[in-house]
Amino acid sequence: MIQLQHVSKVFDGNHLAVDDVSFSVKEGEIFGLIGTSGCGKTTTMKMINRLIDPTSGSIFVDDQQVKAQKPESLRQKIGYVIQDVGLFPHYTVAENIATVPTLKGWNKKRIESRCEDLLELVGLNADEFAHRKPEALSGGQQQRVGLARALAADPPIILMDEPFGALDPITKREVQIEVQNIFSEINKTVLLVTHDVVEAFAMCDRLCLLDAGKVQQIGTPQELLFSPANDFVDSFFASDRFQLELLSVNLSEILDIEPNSKLYWSPPLEGEQEDEIGREQSLYSIIEEMEERAHDNTVIIHRVDGQTVDSLSFSNLLSKFRQYSNTLKAGGANG
Ligand X SMILES: Nc1ncnc2c1ncn2[C@@H]1O[C@H](COP(=O)(O)OP(=O)(O)OP(=O)(O)O)[C@@H](O)[C@H]1O
Q: How far is the CB of 179 from ligand X (least distance, A)?
A: 20
Q: How far is the CB of 47 from ligand X (least distance, A)?
A: 10
How many Å is the maximal CA-CA distance in the chain? 72
| Pick 47 or 93: Cβ nearer ligand X | 47
| Pick 80 or 129: Cβ nearer ligand X | 80
| Pick 17 or 21: Cβ nearer ligand X | 17
| Pick 41 or 75: Cβ nearer ligand X | 41
Q: How far is the CB of 106 from ligand X (least distance, A)?
A: 34
| Pick 35 or 155: Cβ nearer ligand X | 35
Q: How far is the CB of 327 from ligand X (least distance, A)?
A: 34
CA atoms of 149 and 143, how far apart (whole Å): 10
Q: How far is the CB of 157 from ligand X (least distance, A)?
A: 19
| Pick 101 or 146: Cβ nearer ligand X | 146
Which residues contact ligand X by CB under 6 A? 11-12, 15, 17, 35, 37-43, 195
Q: How far is the CB of 83 from ligand X (least distance, A)?
A: 9
